[in-house]
Amino acid sequence: MKKYLKVWWLYTINSFEVQLNVRWGLILFLFAKILRFAAFAFFLVVLVSSTKVLAGYSLDQVILFFLSFNLLDILSQLLFREVYRFRAAVVSGNFDFYLIKPLNPLFRSLFTGADLLDFITLIPLLLAVAYFINKLQVVGMINLVGFFLMLLVGFLVALSFHILVLSLGILTTEVDNAIFIYRDLIGMGRVPVDIYMEPIRGLITFIIPVGIMMTFPAKALMGLLTWPLMIYAVLFVSFLLYLSLKTWQFAIKRYSSASS
């Protein structure tokens, strides 16, 4: 464990240094990310200020859903950024080097490209979440425990999805857009999944667990999530994680080296 933490730290420092090489590009990316976040938040404020509610939720609640989505999205991008470069490693044959080193190839493929920009944006986001928790007067300890439990579940769903994308990258090098499909799917959770009509709502809550990832944490915090649903979420993510690890093992056995 200590060895992996040290390796992660070294890769993270290295990744940050590479990003800092093109500083003006970094500033543009940072500005664009902040603009994207601010524009959507502004849209929600303008919209819900006029309509008073969105799918039965007040403005503060809708903002909390949006912040909760961003928290998980940024955290998974911060930690799993290397997945976005994985296909290139497979196609070029560089994945061979992942396999011959005394380091778990799954760890190498998932965690070794931390993104500095996401780290920078994570801090104000955490402050904003704390502000809205305070504003909504969430005082119950059970609510807070439920919130952190559902955040952990959401994070594990994200981890499982990323492992599945890596596996897909090995099995079929044809797929460039798989990770972006994941991004668009979870993007549907920027607002509470209650806005969608059935059967889409059921589909993205229970089958493709966008609802579990993005809506459940905020609902747990507001005391709107029942215990059976929390238990369902924990069982679901356990199965999904198991399935993704099995898929990874299946895929890696079928890897054949590429390039010259």
How far is the first Cα of the chain from the last one, in angstroms, to the nearest whole number? 35
Report whether 75 contacts 126 (CB < 8 A). Answer: no
H-assigned helices in 52-202: 59-80, 86-92, 95-100, 105-111, 116-135, 141-171, 178-187, 200-202
Tell me the per-residue interface mask from 196 to 235 with other proteins, x by CB under 8 A, - otherwise.
xx--x-----------------------------------
Nearest approach in angstroms of CB 191 to other proteins is 6
R_g over Cα of the chain: 19
- Residues 5-34 touching other proteins, rule: CB under 8 A, are 22, 24-29, 31-33
Query: Is 36 among the residues that bind other proteins (CB under 8 A)?
Result: yes
Nearer CB in complex with other proteins: 27/142: 27
- Amino acid in position 24: W
Q: Interaction with other proteins in 43-62: which residues (CB under 8 A)?
A: 43, 46-47, 50-51, 53-55
By the 8 A CB rule, do 188 and 212 touch? Answer: no
**Neighbouring C-beta atoms of residue 158, cutoff 10 Å:** 23
For residues 152 and 203, which CB has a smaller minimum distance to other proteins in the complex? 203
* Closest to other proteins by CB, 130 or 181: 181
- Positions touching other proteins (CB under 8 A) are 22, 24-29, 31-33, 35-36, 39-40, 43, 46-47, 50-51, 53-55, 172, 174-178, 180-181, 184-185, 187-188, 190-191, 194-197, 200
